[in-house]
Structure 1
Amino acid sequence: MKGDVKMIYTVTFNPSLDYIVAVENFKVGMTNRASQERLLAGGKGINVSTVLSNLGVDSVALGFTAGFTGEEIRKMAEKTGLRTEFIEVEQGFSRINMKLKSIEGTEINGIGPVISESELQKLLNRLDCLRAEDVLVLAGSIPDSIPDSIYRDIMERLKGRGINFVVDATRDLLMNVLDCHPFLIKPNNHELGEIFGVELNDRESVKPYAKQMQQRGARNVLVSMAGAGAVLLDENGEYYETAAPKGTLVNGVGAGDSMVAGFLAGWFKSGDYRTAFKMGVAAGSASAFSEFLATGEEVEKIYESLQK
């Protein structure tokens, strides 16, 4: 395959049922009625797998589910065509995240189930089956019942196997894996600035800090910047940057996950970082301009505009 990829695996440690609801004229302390509502399978890894599928790239969605909500997450994911291999957890239930669309993006995120050591071991045993040139996407938060070193533990366990790791996480979860040389990391400009104690508001200011992340071990550093565009520093030392495509922000949830998926799809199909970068920007923007995660057609339309 052009991007030297055999299969892409995504891991969502704490998936959710996302209850997305709009309430007009919300009043605190009163009974409010929804004007719109929708229930979706959520979680960063699941989002990546969904957009990959929309772009015609296969992946396997791994993670943990529990209880009646976990069963619904699995059903919803598979209904959209995803290949899932979730591990069923005995204690608790998969979380429900409420997203109040009409109140400045207010969210209430649930806790999630307790994952035992033996259940975690089942996931690790499954990951042991990955082969050279596979991609493993580790994305998002982890439940309290799992050690906060888990991303690094997984990468250390699989090191020397030729697996390409993608890490989309914040703070220590991200910093602790850099010397394991992940293939791709994708902080946004605020997360990157927080790591170094600076404000990064334009693409030029991002570049030296992307370089520092690379010097600490990351191979490719992709920085999303919402309306300010994006920057990629590839493993060959080349910078790519673009302004944000024109469009109306409809829903920022999942835009970063979509960017990861677009980058991987572009790399998978071409093996070219410029193509991967533009496909990532197109996918992230398409999801931001859409009510839900971007379709392949929406991504392709923006990708074509970036080629002009």
Structure 2
Amino acid sequence: MVYTVTFNPSLDYIISLQGFQMGTTNRTKEEQMLPGGKGINVSTVLQNLGIDNTALGFTAGFTGQEIERMVREIGFQCDFIRTKTGFSRINVKLKDYDGTEINGIGPVIQKEEAEKLMEKLKHLEEGDVLVLAGSIPESLPNSIYRDILAELQGKGILFVVDATKDLLLYVLEYEPFLIKPNNHELGEIFDVELKTRESVIPYAKKLQEKGARNVLVSMAGEGAVLVAENGEVFMQPAPKGTLVNAVGAGDSMVAGFIAGWMERQSYSHAFRMGVAAGSASAFSHLLATKEEIQRIYERLEK
């Protein structure tokens, strides 16, 4: 079973505007409301690919109830912990202004609520996959990902981590199966600018030296790179297509990689599935379907 954890899920209010002006009333021409958060996005694409999974994390208030309702409507399982106070955040994403969004804070998570999540995770078994993805609320320590991996060491669980800075660096000593920084996040770690696929390879290997088994680097329009634990390096230029919505593309890549690995235990296949899933979501108004992913997979270089 695959489990995803989203510490700070959201309702993503995705809007399209006919121009945006400060100091006046702006009206939307299109709008969508979707459950958001990196772990939930991973779960959605896994579900679309036919991979059973359960979404874990924290929800709060009326927005949290709506997140849970939407998740169940999509079709995958969820077992969120409801916090006593606050409400799950609403993230406003301006579709016509790439990368422009306003993200909420999210609820305060109490110590005893965090401990409830740890108790749930202790029931994972050998062969399970655990995906830790995204940011955490300010009420949690930035060691929380590391604390989880430390608690579950030795159980034969495959850990996948998609996070930035300390959240990512702190887990490396526990040898996660897969990490997925993008080229900007990877460059930030080492204080360098990485623009080409070739340039990310030595820095991905540095993260392997720190403990990561496989390093998957997403690079938007430049494609992606996988530095695998068996010594192989895979590079793939970005497939041709029209960018429609970049939200969730990186999460889709993670889901595609996991699905590909579970299907064949082949890094080549998992990498191609990851690239196909990430690109398919970028070319779609919603997160990618199995059919959309398969079409792009068949176009990719072998």
- TM-score class, shorter-chain normalisation, is over 0.9
2:203 corresponding residue in structure 1: 209
For residue 218 of structure 1, report the CA deviation from its aligned partner.
0.1
Given candidates 183, 187, 190, the residue that maps to 2:184 is 190
Q: Distance in 2 between matches of 1:134 and 1:246?
A: 34
Q: CA RMSD in A?
A: 0.9
1:267 corresponding residue in structure 2: 261
Given candidates 77, 98, 108, the residue that maps to 2:92 is 98
Matches within 5 A, 1:244-283: 244-283=238-277
Q: Distance in 2 between matches of 1:246 and 1:37?
A: 26
Matches within 5 A, 1:120-159: 120-159=114-153
2:222 corresponding residue in structure 1: 228
User: Which amino acid in 1 is paired with 2:193?
Assistant: E
Given candidates 28, 46, 57, the residue that maps to 1:52 is 46
Q: Distance in 1 between matches of 2:221 and 2:301?
A: 19
Higher relative contact order (CA 8 A, sep 6+): 1
Give aligned-pair identity as a percent: 67
Given candidates 18, 21, 32, the residue that maps to 1:38 is 32
2:3 corresponding residue in structure 1: 9
2:16 corresponding residue in structure 1: 22
Structure 1: which 5+ residue stretches go unaligned?
1-6
Q: Distance in 1 between matches of 2:211 and 2:201?
A: 16
Q: Distance in 2 between matches of 1:129 and 1:231?
A: 33
Deviations 1:169-189 (A, max 9, x none): 011111111111000000011
For residue 24 of structure 1, report the CA deviation from its aligned partner.
0.8
User: Which amino acid in 2 is paired with 1:127?
Assistant: L
TM-score, with length taken from structure 2:
0.99
Q: SS of the counterpart of 2:226?
A: strand
Q: SS of the counterpart of 1:35?
A: strand
Q: Distance in 2 between matches of 1:281 and 1:102?
A: 24
Matches within 5 A, 1:55-74: 55-74=49-68
Q: Distance in 1 between matches of 2:301 and 2:26?
A: 46
Q: Is the 8 A contact 2:236 2:301 kept in 1?
A: no
Q: SS of the counterpart of 2:231?
A: coil
Given candidates 284, 296, 299, the residue that maps to 1:302 is 296
1:3 corresponding residue in structure 2: none
1:175 corresponding residue in structure 2: 169
1:288 corresponding residue in structure 2: 282
Given candidates 108, 118, 123, the residue that maps to 1:114 is 108
Deviations 1:109-149 (A, max 9, x none): 00111111111111000000001111100000000111110
Q: Distance in 1 between matches of 2:46 and 2:257?
A: 10
1:161 corresponding residue in structure 2: 155
Of stretches 99-108 and 62-71 in structure 1, the one that deviates more from structure 2 is 99-108
For residue 104 of structure 1, report the CA deviation from its aligned partner.
3.5
For residue 105 of structure 1, report the CA deviation from its aligned partner.
3.2
- Size of the aligned set, in residue pairs, is 302
Q: Distance in 1 between matches of 2:3 and 2:165?
A: 23
Q: SS of the counterpart of 2:106?
A: coil
User: Which amino acid in 1 is paired with 2:239?
Assistant: P
For residue 307 of structure 1, report the CA deviation from its aligned partner.
5.3
